[in-house]
Amino acid sequence: MDIYQEIASNVEQGYSEKTKKAVERALAEGCPPNDILHRGLITGMNAVAQRFKSGQMFLPEVLAVAGAMKAGMTFVKPLLAGTKHSSFGKVVIGTVRGDMHDIGKNLVAIMLEGAGFEVIDLGTDVRADKFVEAVERERPAIVGMSALLTTTMLHMKGVIEALEQKNLRGDVKIIVGGAPISNNFANEIKADGYARDAGSAADLVRSLLNTDHHGTPL
Amino acid sequence: MTSKERMLTAFRRKKADRVPVCPDISVMVPAKRTGRPFYELFLDGKEHTGWTSETYTKAYVDTVKYFGMDGWYVYGGLKEIRPPGSPEFIETIVPVPDGRLVKRVCRTSAGELKEAEMFFGDEPSWRDEKPIKNLHEDFKRMKYLLGHDSWKWEKAFRDKDRIGDYGVYSPVVAVFQDWWFNNRHGGFEQCFMDFHEEGKFMEGVHEFWMDWSLAYVRALVEARPDEVMFGGSSASLSISSPDLFRRFELPFLRRASKICRDAGVISHLHVCGRSWELVQIVADETDIDVMEPMEEPPGGNVDIAEAKRRVGGKLCIKGNINTFDFMLNATPDQVEAKCKKLIDDAGSDGGFILSTGDQCGRDTPHANLFKMVEVAETYGRY
């Protein structure tokens, strides 16, 4: 097993300390940070995303994996800052107004970060003007909205309209998700995509940005 | 048969006069029917033992009567008898633009615990702040709040007559992950981090909780409810894992369901969302009598016909129509077809309660709920 496989395997098993040590060793041996990120950390996280999507893994295990990924990233991130490898793209994410539920949204954030995207998490109960402000400030490629309630999902449309009014709609792709959301609903409110679970969210973002698992344009 | 008799017969996996019908309308539908803001219903200022409020429980029973369904009253419990001067939460209700914010403070000899709960106008409440923030320090305070041992409760339920023959009276005991999630600040992520990184400490927390919960289960069965329900939403595999279920829930469920079985009281486990992987464990390794809501996809992953084949000889099954899409958007004709199929799949020989896969949303068309009742009364007749 080479060092990249070792890192990937440690991430996959949620071993934070072992991941950290393997990344440190890889850097000491002169491995390029970008290879450590792609061939090690992201490869491990992608395997987890697939297993989660197919129901072979559960949320607590994914959270342990995310911890291992973060532990590895603490060394790699500063070395990639400002390079073209620092992120595959920026995603602004939040649960819409009136809705305090955050599990699904947090899980999507974990999966996206694990897949190499930079995530700006606006939290829960996020009003349309806060989404607009975040788009103006962060200039993301993607805006992700979550809702668990049939009453609050209707606010997603308000966010899209607010972005249209500010002429920002064309700058971003909008994705939606949450228990009561469907593909039909996403089409109705003119979102660009719908993901039924967190594992699919990373695939959806990649497909909307037309990149592969390593952020390379297709 | 009365609704109570019908539900109890199904719980015992026998045929009643017809398939009982009990869609889960635990909060949203009755609250909306009143036309009053949710916070007004839940913060009525009257004493009530159990969660929700006296005003809300009356709204629930009214709604059961309105639809003609078989009731499932999960709002009661026993009042705890505490030594004089025991610490307790003192609450202040603050009007805010979206509803009412309830701030609670408990002063113990080990320090203060604080929590805050937001009550909205058109949806259930949400706890913004939970008492256990610093794990070790606040849990010490929590033990002062709950008492260290010698717990006592009143001998009788104060509200059992409220549902009467319109359904079953079913006090709820939260399973460990539900209890921890309700008390631990920081959401599920924090709870899972506790289990992962503070394993030894959490074993101690679990042991304390189990002593307290089993004492409560013993008190409940002595007061003779129609059944005891173990509330396990947070043990759902949509959130948690089979490993955590085995580690934290199974030891409790084994002992609690045996206490019920030995006392001749029915026990009932609620696990919404994804639960298929738990169904066989519950049937094989506990004395639980009823499991629900066996939620179908996309919210859950249970095939009710397969569940009936595998565990129908051990568990009464209640379920399992999707609420957040089907019950909201289907036509009454589609509801009729779905209910008939469920009765064919799981109800032909008793031990089945026609229900939903979790709580119906507030905007569920009444016609769909009436249709469920109609199908049970006609097609579901034994």
Measured between CA atoms, the residue of chain A closest to residue B195 is: A60
B84 min Cα distance to partner chain A (Å): 37
Q: Which residues in chain B have Cβ-Cβ distances shorter than 8 Å to A109?
A: none
- Peptide bond before residue A140 is cis, with ω within 30 degrees of 0: no
Partner-chain contact A103 B187, CB within 8 Å: yes
Q: How confident is the model at residue B298 (pLDDT cuts 50, 70, 90)?
A: confident
Task: Count the Cβ atoms, other than its own, within 10 Å of residue B35.
Answer: 6
Q: How many CB atoms sit inside 10 A of residue A167's CB?
A: 8
For residue A212, the model assigns a pLDDT of: 66
Residue of B nearest to A52 (CA): B238
Residue B89 CA to residue B83 CA, distance in Å, equals 15
CB atoms B363 and A150 under 8 Å: yes
Contact B240 A60 (CB under 8 A): yes
B89 and chain A in contact, CB less than 8 A: no
Predicted ipTM?
Answer: 0.86
Closest partner residue to B324 (CB to CB) among A55, A58, A150 is A150
pLDDT band at B122 (very low <50, low <70, confident <90, very high): confident
C-alpha–C-alpha distance, residues B382 and B375, integer Å: 12
Structure confidence at residue B98 (pLDDT): 86
Q: Compare CB distances from A150 to B128, B193, B328 and report the shortest one's residue.
A: B328
Contacts of residue B255, defined as CB under 8 A and 6 or more positions apart, other chains included, come to B210, B214
- Tell me the C-alpha distance between B317 and B232, whole Å: 16
CA distance B322 to B328: 9
The pLDDT value recorded for residue B162 is: 96
How high is the mean pLDDT of chain B? 95
Interface probe with A: pick from B38, B241, B275, B359, most Cβ of A within 10 Å: B241
Return the CATH number of B3-82+147-378, one of 3.50.30.40, 3.20.20.210, 3.10.20.30, 3.40.30.10: 3.20.20.210
**Residues whose CB falls within 8 Å of the CB of residue A29, separated by 6 or more in sequence, listed in order:** A3
3-state SS string for B221-257: HHCCCCEEEEECHHHCCCCCCHHHHHHHHHHHHHHHH
Contact A63 B192 (CB under 8 A): yes
Taking contacts as CB-CB distances below 8 angstroms, the residues of chain B near A63 are: 189, 192-193, 196
- Which tens digits make up the pLDDT trace of B267-296? 999 999 999 999 999 999 999 999 999 999
Positions in chain A short of pLDDT 50: none
Q: Look at residue B290 in the predicted model and tell me its pLDDT.
A: 98
The residue of chain A with its CA nearest to that of B361 is A150
Nearest CA in chain A to B273: A179
Please judge whether A60 and B328 are an interchain contact, meaning their C-beta atoms are less than 8 angstroms apart: no
The verdict on B241 touching A (C-beta cutoff 8 Å) is yes
Phi, psi of B119, rounded to the nearest 5 degrees: -105, 120
> Which residues in chain A have their CB less than 8 angstroms from residue B325's CB?
180, 182
Share of chain B above pLDDT 70, in %: 100
Confidence band for B68, pLDDT divided at 50, 70 and 90: very high
A8 vs chain B: nearest CA distance in angstroms? Answer: 20
A155/chain B closest Cα distance in angstroms: 15
So what's the pLDDT on residue A63?
87
Residues B360, B25 contacting (CB under 8 angstroms): yes
Sorting pLDDT into bands at 50, 70 and 90, what band is B53? Answer: very high
- The pairing of strands B111-120 and B126-129 is antiparallel
User: Taking a C-beta distance cutoff of 8 angstroms, is the pair B140, B87 a contact?
Assistant: no
The alpha-carbon gap from B239 to the nearest alpha carbon of chain A, in Å, equals 6
Q: Indicate whether B184 pLDDT > 90.
A: yes
**pLDDT tier at B189 (50, 70, 90 boundaries)?**
confident
Q: Alpha-carbon distance B73 to B189, whole Å?
A: 31
Which residues make beta-bridge pairs with B129? B116
Q: What residue in A sits closest to B126 (Cα-Cα)?
A: A100
Contact at CB, A150 and B241, closer than 8 angstroms? no
The residues with which B104 forms a beta bridge, in sequence order, are B91, B115
Select from A150, A153, A196 the residue whose CB has the most chain B CBs within 10 Å, as the one to mutate to test that interface: A150
In whole angstroms, what is the distance from residue B44 CA to residue B37 CA?
11
Which residue of chain B is at minimal alpha-carbon distance from A57? Answer: B241
Query: Do the Cβ atoms of A60 and B192 come within 8 Å?
Result: yes
Can you give the pLDDT at residue A193? 94
Contact A11, A71 (CB under 8 A): no
Task: Flag whether residue B199 sits within 8 Å of chain A, measured between CB atoms.
Answer: no
CA dist., res. A16 & res. A149, Å (int): 35
Q: What kind and span of H or E run contains A2?
A: none
3-state secondary structure of A117: coil
> Of the spans A54-58, A192-196, B47-51, B210-214, which averages the highest pLDDT?
B210-214
Q: How far apart (Å, rounded) are the C-alpha atoms in residues A8 and A13? A: 9
On the question of pLDDT at B73 being above 90, the answer is yes
Query: For the stretch B65-91, what's the b/e string if a residue is b when 16 or more beta carbons lie within 10 angstroms of its beta carbon?
Result: eebebbbbbbbbbbebeeeeeebeeee
Q: Using alpha carbons, select from A124, A94, A88 the residue that is nearest to residue A109.
A: A94
Helix (H) or strand (E) holding B367: helix B366-378
**Chain B residues with CB-CB distance to A149 below 8 A:** 123, 361
> Distance, in angstroms, between A139 CA and closest chain B CA?
28
The Cα–Cα gap between B349 and B14 comes to 7
The count of CB pairs under 8 A between chains A and B is 60
Domain locations along chain B: 3-82+147-378, 87-132
User: CA separation (Å) from B332 to B32, B67, B117, B227, B322?
Assistant: 20, 14, 37, 32, 14
* Chain A residue with the nearest C-alpha to that of B299: A179
- Tens digits of residue pLDDT in B301-340: 999 999 999 999 999 999 999 998 899 999 999 999 999 9
B325 touches chain A (CB under 8 A): yes
Residues of A in CB contact (< 8 Å) with B are 55, 58-61, 63-64, 67, 98, 100, 102-103, 106, 149-151, 179-180, 182, 196
| Per-residue model confidence (pLDDT) at position B284 | 97
* Beta pairing partners, B292: B270
> How does pLDDT run across B340-372, given as a tens digit for each residue?
999 999 998 999 999 999 999 889 999 999 999
Domains in chain A (CATH in brackets) are: 3-80 (1.10.1240.10), 90-209 (3.40.50.280)
Quick check: A59 and B187 CB within 8 A?
A: no
**For an interface test with A, which of B96, B123, B202 has the most A Cβ atoms less than 10 Å from its Cβ?**
B123
Phi–psi pair at B222, nearest 5 degrees: -65, -30
Q: What average pLDDT score do residues B46-62 get?
A: 94
Residue B277 touches partner A, C-beta closer than 8 Å = no
Phi, psi of A167 (to 5 degrees): 55, 35
